[in-house]
Amino acid sequence: MTCAILYEMCVDEPTAKVINIDSRPKKKFRPFPMTTVELQKQAARKLHLGSEQTMTIAEKLYQQGYLSYPRTETDSFPEGTDIISLIREQANNPDWGSYASDLTDQGKFKHPSKGRNNDNSHPPIHPTKAATNLTGNEKKLYDYITRHFLACCSEDALGQETTIVIEIAGEIFTAKGLIVEKLNWLEVFPYEKWTDKNLPKFQLEEEFGPTSLLMTESSTTAPHLITEPELISIMDKHGIGTDATIAQHIKTIQDRKYVEKKPGAQFVPTRLGEALVYGYNTMGFQLAKPQLRAETEAAVTQISRG
């Protein structure tokens, strides 16, 4: 009842006045150079490509000379890599060519950040030459990898994290969001959105009429089923599989009918999968426990390292 009364008061006197603005600088950091696991996660999330499909396409693009070797755990470019020449390869592309030229010719280039991972075998995934004749999912994946590479070579995005306090009919309301000042790497990377709460610039004491006044109610919801990008992240975090085998593990549990992948890349356990886990647990076996695979992977890695 109280909420309804306050709502009616604001509807009757809808003029809003800005009484306080608090801002602080904010950055959205450019991405690190791309590893295989990150490619699989982002291709599933942004391009709706399964992990196995992603690796098949990436291998083909590598064999055609468009990409570097796509199986790598390294997220730092080795010293001496001629990154400028790789960027100049993209200068004639109709979609991002002007952005690539600005990086090399207008002083906007910034050396890619160094990650923490290095397999001492292969560099991060990046385009090796321009591609103008690709179609379908091959083009989609090549475009993503190239835009990601250019984003790695750009400045961080800049903005102001802002809290605005307004008064309507004697009641105080607060809005928190972001005022974007420079998109920088986000200009060439449309797959990423900084925030859903962009705020316009206001001045202290400014008065304005809200576009709408709403009173809403909501309720809690159950967690959603696990998606392929989430599964890849969890497997990588807990050492289940490697950059070269995660996609195969995911394919195996689908081939054996333990799970089904639904629209939205969400996995649903089948009755067979549930029965298998129930049977293992009932008999006291640890075969369905995720740490078992992680321990096996860790032991094999130790063996390979001597």
Residues taking part in catalysis? 69
C-alpha to C-alpha distance for 112 and 150, rounded to whole angstroms: 9
Residues 12, 18: Cα–Cα separation, whole Å: 18
Neighbouring CB atoms inside 10 A of 75's CB total 24
Structural tokens at position 23: 């801002």
> How crowded is residue 247: how many other Cβ atoms within 10 Å of its Cβ?
23
The torsion angles phi and psi of 173, rounded to 5 degrees, stand at -130, 145
127 secondary structure, DSSP code? B
User: β-strands 171-182, 266-269: how paired?
Assistant: unpaired
Rounded (10°) CA dihedral 40, 32, 230, 217: -130
Strand stretches in the chain, DSSP E: 16-28, 157-168, 171-182, 207-208, 259-262, 266-269
Q: How far is CA 112 from CA 63, 83, 137, 150, in A?
A: 25, 9, 27, 9
